[in-house]
Structure 1
Amino acid sequence: MIIGNGLLARSFALEFSTDPDIVVFASGVSNSSESRASEFARERALLDRALDQRRLLVYFGSCGVATAEQDPSPYMQHKQEMEARVLDSGHGLVLRLPQVVGSTSNPHTLINFMRDRILSGQSFTVWSKAQRNLIDVDDIAAIGGRLIRGHRIAPKPISVAAPQSLTVIEIVGLMERILGRKAHYVVEDRGAPLRIDADEACAAAADLGIDMGPGYAERILRKYYAP
């Protein structure tokens, strides 16, 4: 069973839409800048109803929860709460995701934001020390499917991410090369390295023949954003 109709929901639908024993919860707050309590409450209520079904529930958390600053944003606080709800249920699996790359009209994703700013010529701010981890949504579905079938229930979140993170400036450079346009941005001395333990996901990727080695980020960005 799939709850949701967005990018992740569509990617997992082929394998799990008719599975009577597994609920893939792919409907929630998709904007990491969200701060409205009403939006968080909507997801919380939907998740609680799904958990009441007493079937294995797969929830997509955020790798940012593990690397959040001492004063996390309302979005990260919400993700922490939802992850805890799922893990405490006794029949949940939390897959933490980094920056998902795929075909989506959502303007709030990092890469869509960069693309739109670069193509429009608008200036934007880049944190010099910030890092992000990019992964193809198709690879999430393949790796996630393997982990779901293999774990069923796990006592802690599992990060589904690429083995290497890039600085945001490096990602901007990739997008400039792919789009053939110069980005206009202001650099601020902020941010921090992104540390993700993705060993389990990388092992599953290797078993599936998914190459997440050098050049992975550029390959997936070209897949979805090359003219």
Structure 2
Amino acid sequence: MIIGNGMIASKFKENNYQHDNNVVIFASGVSNSQNLNDDEFNKEQILLDDIINTTKGKLLIYFSSCSVTDESMNNNKYVIHKKHIEETIKQLNNFLIFRISNPIGNTNNPHTILNNFYNKIQANQPINIRSNAKRNFIDLDDLYTIVNHIYENSIFKNDIITIGNAKMTSMSEIIEAFEKIMNKKILYSLENKGGSPIIDINKIENVLKTCNIDFNDEYFFNTVKKYYG
């Protein structure tokens, strides 16, 4: 069973997870980390509670966010909501929580950081970036490969697993990547703000090796080029 219609849910649907009666992929909910509408958060909580009550015994896979480890976002409503959802799921006896970084894939969601940058560049709008902020990116295909391998081989049980890139990316590096790919000079201003999540992927080191996923120096650029080039 798959709950959701976004980029991650669609990836699992491509691989027929909706026909697996042993697992619930919960990939629905608030996708905008700047959301302030409590109704949207409540909607996800109600949906989750309903799924928990109607799918007892099945493995629940939930996609949380690495943002919960970013101290600069402690007061962010989205982060507070994610932490609350995690606590709800941790009371179950058959779950996996994946704290994921920013997946890069085909999506029309204007709220992803890369789509936000790309759309502003296309419209020749200046971009305000936080000079102290760093983000972490992973190819959606690699994210799926990792989760699928963990599930098929029952590597973890009732655990929280961080999935992300071994390397952080600064806002200026994002700008540089788009300038190369789009062959365009980008207008931007710097703001002395921002922070970074803590990305500890030690738990999945062996999974990465088995799946031949290499976070080399060109990984971010090549992934952006793959979807935006």
Between stretches 143-152 and 88-97, larger displacement belongs to 143-152
Distance 1:97 1:35 in 2: 21
Structure 1 window deviating more from structure 2 (7-16 vs 74-83): it is 7-16
**How far does residue 68 in structure 1 lie from its aligned partner after superposition?**
3.2
Q: TM-score, normalised by structure 1?
A: 0.94
Query: Does structure 2 retain, via aligned residues, the 8 Å contact 1:98–1:135?
Result: yes
CA 1:68–1:12: 2 relative to 1, 3 Å: farther
Cα distance, 1:12 vs structure 2: 1.5
Query: Contact 1:118 / 1:176 at 8 angstroms: preserved in 2?
Result: no
1:103 aligns with 2:106: yes
Q: CA deviation at 1:187?
A: 0.2
Please name the residue that 2:221 is paired with. 218
Q: Residue 206 of structure 1 aligns with which residue? A: 209
Letter paired with 1:73: N
Matches of 1:119 and 1:180, distance apart in 2: 12
Mapped to 1, the partners of 2:127 and 2:148 lie a distance apart of 37
Q: CA deviation at 1:133?
A: 0.5
Distance 1:197 1:118 in 2: 32
Residue 158 of structure 2 is aligned to residue 154 of structure 1? yes
Any conservation in 1 of the 2:70–2:195 contact (CA below 8 Å)? no
Partner of 1:115: 118
CA 202–121 in structure 1, closer or farther in 2 if over 3 Å, else same: farther
Q: Is 2:79 the counterpart of 1:80?
A: no
Deviation (angstroms), 1:70: 6.8
**Corresponding residue for residue 33 of structure 1:** 34
Gaps of 5+ in 2: none
- Report how many aligned residue pairs link the two structures: 225
TM-score normalized by structure 2? Answer: 0.93
Shift in alpha-carbon separation, 1:199–1:188, aligned structure 2, 3 A: same
Tell me the CA shift for residue 15 of structure 1.
4.7
Match in the other structure for 1:20: 21
Q: Give 1:6's aligned residue.
A: 6
Separation of aligned partners in 2, 1:151 and 1:15: 21
2:96/2:157 contact within 8 Å kept: yes
Residue 59 (str. 1) matches residue 62 (str. 2): yes
Aligned residue in 1 for 2:132: 129
Residue of structure 2 equivalent to 1:139: 142
Distance 2:188 2:72 in 1: 24
Once residues 27 and 21 of structure 1 are traced to their aligned partners in structure 2, the CA distance between those partners, rounded to angstroms, is 18
How far apart are the structure 2 equivalents of 1:70 and 1:126? 16
CA distance, structure 1, for counterparts of residue 191 and residue 111 of structure 2: 21
**Cα displacement string for residues 113-156 of structure 1 (whole angstroms, at most 9, x for unaligned residues):** 0101112110121111110001011111110111223245233x
Unaligned runs of 5+ residues in structure 1 are none
Supply the AA of the counterpart residue of 2:164.
A
Task: Report if aligned partners of 1:165, 1:194 keep a CA contact under 8 Å in 2.
Answer: no
**Runs of 4+ with deviation above 4 angstroms:** none
